[in-house]
Amino acid sequence: MKAYERLLEYVKYNTTSDESAPETICPSTENQKVFGNFLVEEMKKAGLSGAHMDKNGYLYGYLPANCEGNFPVIGLISHMDTSSSASGKNIRPRIVKNYSGGDIVLNPDKNIVMRAADFESLADCKGMDLIVTDGTTLLGADDKAGIAEILTAVEQLTKSSVPHGKISVAFTPDEEIGRGSDRFDIPFFGADFAYTVDGGKLGELEYENFNAASATVTINGVNIHPGEAKNKMKNAILLGFEFNSMLPLAEIPAHTEKYEGFYHLSHIEGDEEKTVLRYIVRDHNRAKFEAKKARMQKITEYLNEKYGDKTVELNLKDSYYNMKEKIEPHMEIIRRAEKAMRNAGVEPKTVPIRGGTDGAQLSFRGLPCPNLPTGGFNFHGRFEFIPIQAMEKMAEVLVELVKKQ
């Protein structure tokens, strides 16, 4: 089976994870286990031994070595869940064959158009067959494309005589909410090093990622009838606006790129009595990351001094750190990935991740784990797409990656 055929089947499953679910619940949504049960059978069909899902929704399997020798055990990892930034229900993918350039009408009934002027990456995909959405949901290639590419590579290995050592495979839940590696059983997985297949453009190789934290700002106001509010009301909504206005206006995702960090207000809800703002905080540089968190703490202290104790409550929680320091002592695994790409006719390009992967936390837990691309674009949104040719090429890269050297 082709990688893209697998993806078209996998996106039928709604696997959106839920950040609001208690951390004691894993996975955060039951639908991930439904997909997991299906994937276990897919793993077995592809040729993986010991394929199973544990009680926390993590899937494991392995391909035994087919030749003698002392080879490293290589791990391949992708995640099952999708982002909540756009709907993951009732995904209706279609294939734009031999894309000739220009705008793509995703949904004529709702006049939803993916415009080439807004998405420069389309220009790199002329002549390719693109899997797109209908403009009302995300596609789910992040990271069901990674799963499809791994299983396609495994199937190719089982049907060929390509020599390889033992290969460990895992599919994780809840990566999109920063919990994907929390219950990952590294000793059981048994890999000497691993790669997540969870990225963007074909050829991108990533071993630097953001330091990341989540921040919840709770504003406790005082409501009273507007006609009697003078010098009495503390409107929590307005105080939330004031908090946000004290963050650097240019340090948001829309104004940053490459190694530049940001504060991202991802959610706000409430009323005059109580308002909650949720942020993610990111920076590649650890010192700048800590400074960003300190700024939020200082704003909290200032507003509490201005409006009264506990008017503003700040809950900061680190999510993951830059894996670079853990990968640099093992650069041979980066060289291995570069060689695999070149052998498959893909020119590697090392780029920083403007986000994170399970591999960041796994690297800090002792399993070096850089990230490989899936070949997709515009993840987490309604304009997500992936070229079929990129998926097939990545399956080829994975075969080259794990074969005997």
Q: Which amino acid is at 263?
A: Y
Dmax of the chain from CA atoms? 84
Q: Which residues are identified as catalytic?
A: 81, 175
How far is Cα 206 from Cα 157, in angstroms, rounded to an integer? 25
Q: Would you say 326 and 368 are in contact if contact means Cβ atoms under 8 Å apart?
A: yes
Half-sphere exposure of 362 (CA within 13 A, CB side): 32
How far is Cα 354 from Cα 206, in angstroms, rounded to an integer? 10
Residues in the chain, overall count = 405
Q: Would you say 149 and 171 are in contact if contact means Cβ atoms under 8 Å apart?
A: no
For β-strands 193-197 and 167-172, DSSP reports them as unpaired
Q: Coil, helix or strand for 65?
A: coil
Q: Would you say 75 and 191 are in contact if contact means Cβ atoms under 8 Å apart?
A: yes
DSSP string computed for 230-258 = TTT-B-HHHHHHHHHHTS-TT-SGGG--T
How far is Cα 42 from Cα 26, in angstroms, rounded to an integer? 22
How far is Cα 35 from Cα 180, in angstroms, rounded to an integer? 16
How far is Cα 205 from Cα 298, in angstroms, rounded to an integer? 37
Q: Is 316 left (phi over 0), alpha (psi -120 to 50) or beta?
A: beta
How far is Cα 386 from Cα 373, in angstroms, rounded to an integer? 11
Say how many C-beta atoms besides its own lie within 10 A of residue 116's C-beta.
Answer: 14
Helix then strand then coil, % of the chain, to nearest 5: 35, 25, 45
- Which residues lie closer than 8 Å to 270 by C-beta, 6 or more apart? 219, 236, 237, 240, 276
Cα 128 to Cα 148, 199, 372, distances in angstroms? 19, 19, 21
